[in-house]
Structure 1
């Protein structure tokens, strides 16, 4: 194994940490969940830094990195919703947005052409807020944070950016599909 594969191994570690994070949350071991979630979050920064800094960018890494991020966030939201720490309307919004994007990507790829992942600025903001909310909720569950207004405000921030991000992707890729639709090229 070469050092070039190190970012991929770190991404794989993040994917493997998802199950222990979920299990810890379900068992009420919130401090353990927080530590594991922080390790997973730091690993995301580390693998990205190494890949960019040393040009260790691979196709596998381009798949594993976003997969690890999405699994961590989606499973975190589902679990926190399950234990009643996040409202179902927010969990449903986050899951629906990701489902729409995945379905849209598959349909676009099937009908038009392959898709290259291009995260939008609103999507990056949304991901940051989603992760921040998970951290604040876990801190609240531990009892280290007693700021319900801050948590509630961030919930609404996540909701708004989730909807804006989803609408942006649908509009952008819908427009691209309309431009590239095979029958339009013939006219």
Structure 2
């Protein structure tokens, strides 16, 4: 297995770690970040999540720069992103930090696109992530990070950056989903 795929698998391995720290708070207290009080376990979990999210860029960079792009990587990388985002969204809902409807919109698109990829794979076609899909992932991951840290440092300024980023992520999720299905509608021609 090549290095980019190993890094992608490491991203998946981070999921239970950040979820455990985020959802099962220890008495670590709170920390003040620019006039925002954040539970220490949320800050630690957000940092673990951020490291995991950054591996998405690292594995892609290594794969492209060393010509290590593989069909397995094209399938595994977006799957790892979806698992990471799904775990984070469900964790945020569990703690009443995200409206469930936003997560449902995001997860519906993720399952639909994954289903389309599976149908395409059955015919020997691999559908790689599109640029719009990559931007959607970036906005989702950044929005989730700021939600996990309770919108710090922007909470103290009264600017709802986390909410704004999540709205952009939801809109990009819908638009990129439509884009995937439109560009790959030929996959369903025999359905």
- Cα distance, 1:79–1:160 mapped onto 2, change above 3 Å: same
Gaps of 5+ in 2: 26-40
Q: Give SS of 1:140's match.
A: coil
Work out whether residues 144 and 166 of structure 2, in 8 Å CA contact, stay in contact via their aligned partners in 1.
no
Q: Distance in 2 between matches of 1:10 and 1:106?
A: 23
Corresponding position of 1:131? 141
TM-score between both structures, scaled by the size of structure 2: 0.79
Question: Which structure 1 residue ranges, 5 or more long, are not aligned?
Answer: 183-187
What is the CA–CA distance in structure 1 between the aligned matches of 2:19 and 2:96, rounded to whole Å? 14
Offset of 1:50 from its aligned partner?
1.6
Which has the larger share of strand? 2
Residue 17 of structure 1 corresponds to which residue in structure 2?
14
Residues 7-66 of structure 1: per-residue CA shift (max 9 Å, x gap)? 222111111001111112212411221121121122222222222212223343333322
* Cross-structure match for 2:36: none
Q: Of the candidates 103, 107, 111, which is equivalent to residue 99 of structure 1?
A: 111
Structure number having the greater helix percentage: 1
TM-score after normalising by structure 1: 0.81
Aligned to 2:56: 44
Do the aligned residues in 2 keep the contact of 1:136 with 1:145 (CA within 8 Å)? Answer: no
Aligned length: 174
